[in-house]
Amino acid sequence: MNTPTPLANLITLGTRDLPRMREFYRTLGWPQIMDDGEFVAFELRGIVLALFPLAKLARDGNTDPDPGTGGIRFTIGVMVDSADEVDRLTEQMRAAGARVTKEPIDAEFFTGRSAYLCDPEGNYFEIAWADAPDNAVVIATRRAAGA
């Protein structure tokens, strides 16, 4: 049986302070496509990043909100087109209120450049440029973004 792979390009972050988080992502200049007061969405190249009140997200998922003990559990990878873009986007996000946990450096686990940071509610992002055009992950992320 030949079934298509699922389309997974919507990330919804449960937020404790929706107005603050909305303003953070607006400050980045990311294109906002929806805001109904309780659900906000930004369209990026390859995904839609949505914000929804944490209590409502938990209720919708029929579970309890995570107590938020801190630390990293996942990252949202942001693939950029050059090493300089890693630095530029890191500074843009820092200016908007992100906390940089790993300054832009030559990547440790691949050939390229990367930085880690988190938004005001502790959602982690890795901003990365990979100098490996034949890398399967690089190819797949570009294909998913229609590039």
The tens digit of pLDDT for each residue in 21-70 reads 999 999 999 999 999 999 999 999 889 999 999 999 999 999 998 887 77
Length of the chain in terms of residues written: 147
| Contact (CB, 8 A) for 37 and 8 | no
The H or E element that residue 87 is part of is helix 83-96
**Predicted confidence band at 89 (pLDDT cuts at 50, 70, 90)?**
very high
Q: Give the predicted TM-score (pTM) of the model.
A: 0.86
Going from the C-alpha of 15 to that of each of 38, 42, 58, 80, 125, the distances in angstroms are: 10, 15, 11, 26, 16
| Overall average pLDDT of the 100-124 stretch | 94
**In angstroms, rounded to a whole number, what is the distance separating the alpha carbons of residues 117 and 94?**
8
What is residue 1's predicted lDDT score, i.e. its pLDDT? 67
Share of the chain above pLDDT 90, in %: 69
What is residue 6's predicted lDDT score, i.e. its pLDDT? 79
Other beta carbons within 10 angstroms of residue 9's beta carbon come to: 12
Is the pLDDT score of 126 beyond 90? yes
β-sheet with 10-15: strand ranges across: 10-15, 48-53, 40-43, 32-35
Other beta carbons within 10 angstroms of residue 147's beta carbon come to: 11
Classified as helix, coil or strand, 79 is: strand
What are the backbone angles phi and psi of residue 68, rounded to the nearest 5°? 65, 60
What is residue 119's predicted lDDT score, i.e. its pLDDT? 96
